[in-house]
Amino acid sequence: MALTIVGLSKTYPNGVKALNDITLSIGNNMFGLLGPNGAGKSTLMRTIATLQDPDAGSISLDGINVLKHKKEVRKILGYLPQEFGVYPKISALDLLDHLAVLKGVASASERKSIVEALLHQTNLWDARKKAVATYSNGMRQRFGIAQALLANPRLIIVDEPTAGLDPAERNRFLNLLSSIGRDRTVILSTHIVDDVRQLCPRMAIIASGQLLLEGAPLEVIAALHGHIWSKIATTDDELRALEAEFQILSTYLIGGQHAVRIYSESDPGQGFRAVDSSLEDVYFLQLSRDRKPLPVN
- Section 80-85 average pLDDT: 78
Domain layout of the chain by residue ranges: 1-76+156-224, 85-153, 226-275
How far is Cα 101 from Cα 151, in angstroms, rounded to an integer? 10
pLDDT of 86: 67
pTM of the model: 0.87
Asked if 17 and 11 touch (Cβ cutoff 8 Å), the reply is yes
For the domain made up of 1-76+156-224, the CATH class stated in words is alpha beta
Q: Per-residue pLDDT tens for 221-248?
A: 999 999 999 999 999 999 999 999 998 9
How far is Cα 187 from Cα 160, in angstroms, rounded to an integer? 11
pLDDT above 70: residue 48: yes
Alpha-helix runs per DSSP H in 181-247: 193-199, 217-222, 236-245
pLDDT above 70: residue 290: no
Q: What percent of the chain has pLDDT over 70?
A: 96
How far is Cα 157 from Cα 9, in angstroms, rounded to an integer? 19
- The model's confidence at residue 94, banded by pLDDT at 50, 70 and 90, is very high
How far is Cα 224 from Cα 282, in angstroms, rounded to an integer? 7
